[in-house]
């Protein structure tokens, strides 16, 4: 199974959501939700310090032995010199034992060599896919082939919608 994770920040807490699925699924097999009351302030260039504890809260609720890869909303690298982004920090936190796929809606300046733009459906705006612990070409192909006719794969759209529910 694959675990995709997204975080939504509310005024006094973070809502953490994970979905478990297989690449060919049209809907998640399971949705996991929890909250974190203490959330670090956003610091430009250090987004991972805010996001990583929330992601780890979701990971604590799954058996990693059942997971093939984790998909995060963001980049693995933030520049072409492989400076760590959220995905790479998560990979390190998991002792380099779990492939991480970053799926970002926007390009990050100067990281065009560390991600692959993926066009889906009729959208002219790509998703930016990066990976660590697995070949980025394979990761991009998985995201491209996920169910859904729009830019965002169906399961990742369900994940995004779930994070924003009250």
pLDDT digits (tens, 9 = 90+) for 64-116: 999 999 999 999 999 999 999 999 999 999 999 999 999 999 987 788 899 99
**What does R_g of the chain's alpha carbons equal in angstroms?**
15
Give the domain ranges of the chain: 2-164
Residue among 70, 106, 105 nearest 89 (CA)? 70
Q: How confident is the model at residue 25 (pLDDT cuts 50, 70, 90)?
A: very high
- Joined tokens for residue 159: 């994940």
Backbone angles phi, psi at 11, to 5 degrees: -55, -40
**pLDDT, tens only, 7-16:** 999 888 999 9
Long-range interactions of 143-146: CB distance < 8 A, separation 24+: 143/71, 143/101, 143/103, 143/118, 144/118, 144/119, 144/120, 145/23, 146/23
Please report the pLDDT score of residue 110 as a whole number.
87
**pLDDT, tens only, 29-57:** 999 999 999 888 888 778 888 999 999 99
| Burial class, 103, CB count within 10 angstroms (exposed 0-12 / middle 13-18 / buried 19+) | buried
The DSSP element (H or E) to which 91 belongs, if any, is helix 86-93
Distance from C-alpha of 117 to C-alpha of 59, rounded to nearest angstrom: 27
* Topology given in CATH for the domain delimited by 2-164: archaeoglobus fulgidus dsm 4304 fold (3.30.2170)
**pLDDT, tens only, 122-153:** 899 999 999 999 999 999 999 999 999 999 99
Please report the pLDDT score of residue 108 as a whole number.
79
Distance from C-alpha of 136 to C-alpha of 30, rounded to nearest angstrom: 26
Q: How many helices and strands, by DSSP H and E, does the chain display?
A: 4, 7
Please report the pLDDT score of residue 18 as a whole number.
98
């Amino acid at each position: 199974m694959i675990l995709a994770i997204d975080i939504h920040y509310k005024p006094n807490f973070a809502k953490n959501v994970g979905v478990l699925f297989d690449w060919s699924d049209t809907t998640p097999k399971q949705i996991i939700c929890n909250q974190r009351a203490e959330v670090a302030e956003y610091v430009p260039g250090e987004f991972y310090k805010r996001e990583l504890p929330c992601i780890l809260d979701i990971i604590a609720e799954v058996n990693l032995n059942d997971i093939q890869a984790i998909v995060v909303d963001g980049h693995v690298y933030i520049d072409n010199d492989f400076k760590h982004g959220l995905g790479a920090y998560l990979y390190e936190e998991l002792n380099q034992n779990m492939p991480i796929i970053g799926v970002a809606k926007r390009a990050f300046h100067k990281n065009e060599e560390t991600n692959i733009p993926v066009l889906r459906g009729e959208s002219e705006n790509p998703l930016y896919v990066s990976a660590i612990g697995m070949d980025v070409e394979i990761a991009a192909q998985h995201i491209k082939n996920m169910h859904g006719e729009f830019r965002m794969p169906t399961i990742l759209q369900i994940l995004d919608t779930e994070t924003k529910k009250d």
